Structure 1
Amino acid sequence: MRRPRRRAQTDAMDLDELVFHPWVAQGPRQVPTFVGGAGSHVVDEYGRRYLDFSSQLVFANLGHQHPRIVEAIKAQADRLCTLAPSHASDVRGEAARLIVGVAPEGLGHVLFTTSGTEAIEHAVRMARLATGRPKVLAAYRSYHGSTTTSIHLTGDPRRWASDTGAAGVVHFFGPFPYRSAFGSSTPEEECERALDHLEQVILLEGPSTVAALVLESVTGSSGVIVPPPGYLRGVRELCTRHGIVYIADEVLVGFGRTGAWFAVDHDEVAPDLLAFAKGVNSGYVPLGGVLVGERIFEAFTERPYPAGLTYSGHPLACAAAVGALRAMHEERTVESAARLGNSVLGPALAKLAEGHPSVGDVRGIGALWTIELVRDRRSKEPLVPTGAAGEANAPMAAFVRACRDRDLLTLVLGNRIHVAPPLNIGDADVATGVEVIDEALTEADAFLG
């Protein structure tokens, strides 16, 4: 017997019910339906404008509807919309040239993917095939994606529901001065002790069994943790010494987010492989990839790399990357992001923290910051527990509502408010966003009792 067709639906909220949404319970949602945008704002179906202080999921580095990117996509669509990856493509080659042109030294080739999690999957596969070793090291307080290998590599609680413990992944503690696992009192101590700990993990696991180490150059959605100076250099030295492939995960922080083209640039190191996505074309068409160094490239010059993707280097996505990267050079976007962190956003958030007892820490770099909320500044107890939902998450839910009521989109994860506006946001919009967060934090303060 045939099932009756679902009734025709025209209301936007009804249509949203047809979508199975990631990372949330599938019950009714009270969220705006967005239909347009420009610059640092998006517009809902009623014409209401919201300031995007999250760059969506930290990918709209050049904001919404940037004319150079839109024009590049349209021009490519008029020429050739799609092409299998086995064929040569002028726009694919140009995107690779521009990406290699800003990459750390020695990363001279690009495997294109359609997402960051795919980039991590392929980087790990390359490392295992090139070394013949099974294990991969990754940090706690990390997020590397939601496909099989990348979710096992993830170190924060988002992996728990999918973690079988059987993917050859070993986790270690990275540096985190605010919540040090090593009892450190200075950044220098934290760096030294974190590197000593990492070396002990390598030695105890057996260097000859470790194919790769995967590390976010700046921890992103798991806490916006900027490593102390010298830490990435120390990681590079350990990997070189033990023949381990160093994979830099720059999916969230690459292409200007930290005030440098890549976050490894701050420590002047070059990994063996570098995973990217998001900011490469501001997410206008899905694109990710792996920058490949000579050591790994040479492993596949005479034998095929045994993997691929139907849409690897999709012409429309690559055209968006070409448009975005050319615009970033012309508009000096990376320099703007550095100034934003040093002179505008960083100081404003530090001042804001002084007036709110719920704020335990403010930290960040460039255009990537977080405000960590606590119940008590001395004990550093998080304002909401890990995995909080319902009533347990009431303080953060109240904050989000207060921001949305004031036309501000934020990114809240656990007890943290992530502040990641487009890199080309104006100073006046930054001031508006910080003012709204300041007002909304009174909602969180109220839960301290």
Structure 2
Amino acid sequence: MNILDPAAGEHAYELDRSHVFHSWSAQGALKPFVIAGALASTVWDFDGNHYLDFSSQLVNMNIGHQHPRVVAAIKAQADTLTMVAPAHANLARGEAAKRILAKAGRPFSKVFFTNGGADANENAIRMARLVTGRDKVLSQYRSYHGNTGAAIVATGDWRRMPNEFARGHVHFFGPFAYRSEFWSDSPEQECERALHHLERMIVSEGQSTIAAILLEGVPGTAGVLVPPPGYLEGVRALADKYGILLILDEVMSGFGRTGEWFSWQGFSREEGNWKPDLVTFAKGVNSGYVPTGGVIISESIANAFDDVVFPGGLTYSGHPLAMASIVASIDAMDDEGIIDHARVIGSDHLEPGLAELARKHPMIGEVRGLGVFWALDLVDDPDTRNPVSGAVIARLKGELMSRGLLPFAADNRIHVVPPCIVTADEVARALEIYDEAFTAVE
């Protein structure tokens, strides 16, 4: 069948609805959008309709769709070696680890590869518990860490509630000045009170029981909640004070999404050059071309397992095809200046463009973000900040799709999360579409 044959699209839809069970969904009412192909920042359907992908699928398509160097690397690796057990050494795996560590810098010395972000968080939690001999993990209510045993219970949002089978997880509130839990009236006060709250949680839970604090560098699905100046540095200081390990979940915020290789690096330069103990990654490391993820391990933690068995592993971790895609992706990002490009797109185009959009549309209560990682917090009333309903979000999604933009929506928000390679012209076109869609809904 022709790639743009509408009949092929209908067949794909029928197959999906007959045989595919979808995640996070009631199955009966689903009407999935059928994608026929994609390139760079654009996807298209079987009818030939093109859409700007301002969802980056699940905020993972950092290098864009079908990047030729990454596709070529996967093909070349497939011709050489398609699979090897994780116990063996493999050139592609070693090269991938070397490149990731070069971007993370000291004191990180090893990478444990996984199949995605959720199992990366699982294994980081396991490492922290084994090294400290403690059990509890503290994480934020406004967070998402994946859909496996410990990762989903570490998650703060509603998705953990039907899945709370893992032990030793405690949640706390992080800073979010726009919807403050701390009655603060400035980012500085929000930071101070959020850190006080966290310390009270540590003391109340018992510092000797806590293995790790698990945070997203910038909480993504929870609303692109850029931490106020000093917060992450403050968390690092509390972790050191009480002998707790700090795990940063960079699954969504890493590899260019905030205009940095890792989001913590931007904050660390401003706040005293601190670093986490463990870093989890996935998504943007290879834009999901082949499923992969991992844990970046500081030297002291890696050394703790020199003479002690680490009780974890996965058949497909460090898969050669995934490793080749990581090498090609990082090399392409370096050679093409993609990280710097994402930072400039954010500062020069998205930030001012979205701010202007908010001035025109009172429904947009707050704009927040970095790089190509932004959220529009939508409200019924800018004074009360009451969130808009799901019906409003559904109408906005329909208006955006009808105008040729594939959106990312969560709760009362529209997230603006294009690939890192998005052009200034594509951003300008997207801003026009957002403007038209908000006008139509208002």
Residue of structure 1 aligned with 2:317, choices 293, 302, 312: 312
* Matched residue, 2:154: 153
- Does 1:364 find its partner at 2:334? no
- Does 1:236 find its partner at 2:241? no
* Matched residue, 1:39: 40
> Partner of 1:248: helix, strand, or coil?
strand
> Partner of 1:74: helix, strand, or coil?
helix
Cα distance per residue 1:222-279 (max 9 Å; x no partner): 1110001111111111111111110000000001110111011122121110000000
Counterpart-to-counterpart distance in 1, 2:440 and 2:99: 45
Give the letter aligned to residue 349 of structure 2: V
> Partner of 2:316: helix, strand, or coil?
coil
* Matched residue, 2:292: 287
> Partner of 1:34: helix, strand, or coil?
coil
* Matched residue, 2:169: 169
Give the letter aligned to residue 425 of structure 1: V
Counterpart-to-counterpart distance in 2, 1:394 and 1:381: 14
CA drift of 1:184 comes to: 1.3
> Partner of 2:21: helix, strand, or coil?
coil
Gaps of 5+ in 1: 1-8, 385-392
> Partner of 1:11: helix, strand, or coil?
helix
Cα distance per residue 1:84-125 (max 9 Å; x no partner): 000000000000000000014311110000110000000001
* Matched residue, 1:207: 207
> Partner of 2:246: helix, strand, or coil?
strand
Counterpart-to-counterpart distance in 2, 1:404 and 1:272: 42
> Partner of 1:354: helix, strand, or coil?
helix
Counterpart-to-counterpart distance in 1, 2:132 and 2:420: 38
Is the contact made by 1:358 and 1:444 (CA closer than 8 Å) also made in structure 2? no
Counterpart-to-counterpart distance in 2, 1:129 and 1:99: 24
Cα distance per residue 1:278-300 (max 9 Å; x no partner): 00001100110000012211221
Equivalences for residues 16-415 of structure 1 within 5 A? 16-17=16-17, 18-164=19-165, 167-268=167-268, 269-384=274-389, 393-415=390-412
Counterpart-to-counterpart distance in 2, 1:357 and 1:349: 12
Which one is further off, 306-315 or 292-301?
292-301
Equivalent residue pairs, number: 428
Give the letter aligned to residue 385 of structure 2: K
* Matched residue, 1:388: none
Counterpart-to-counterpart distance in 2, 1:201 and 1:27: 42
> Partner of 2:106: helix, strand, or coil?
coil
> Partner of 2:360: helix, strand, or coil?
coil
Gaps of 5+ in 2: 1-8, 269-273
Equivalences for residues 415-434 of structure 1 within 5 A? 415-434=412-431
Counterpart-to-counterpart distance in 2, 1:357 and 1:20: 39
Is the contact made by 1:398 and 1:443 (CA closer than 8 Å) also made in structure 2? no
Counterpart-to-counterpart distance in 2, 1:207 and 1:28: 47
CA drift of 1:29 comes to: 3.0
Counterpart-to-counterpart distance in 1, 2:164 and 2:100: 33
* Matched residue, 2:435: 438
> Partner of 2:376: helix, strand, or coil?
strand
Q: Which runs of 4+ in 1 moved over 6 A?
A: none
> Partner of 1:96: helix, strand, or coil?
helix
> Partner of 2:347: helix, strand, or coil?
helix
Indicate the RMSD between aligned Cα atoms, in angstroms. Answer: 1.3
Give the letter aligned to residue 423 of structure 1: C
TM-score, structure 1 normalization? 0.93
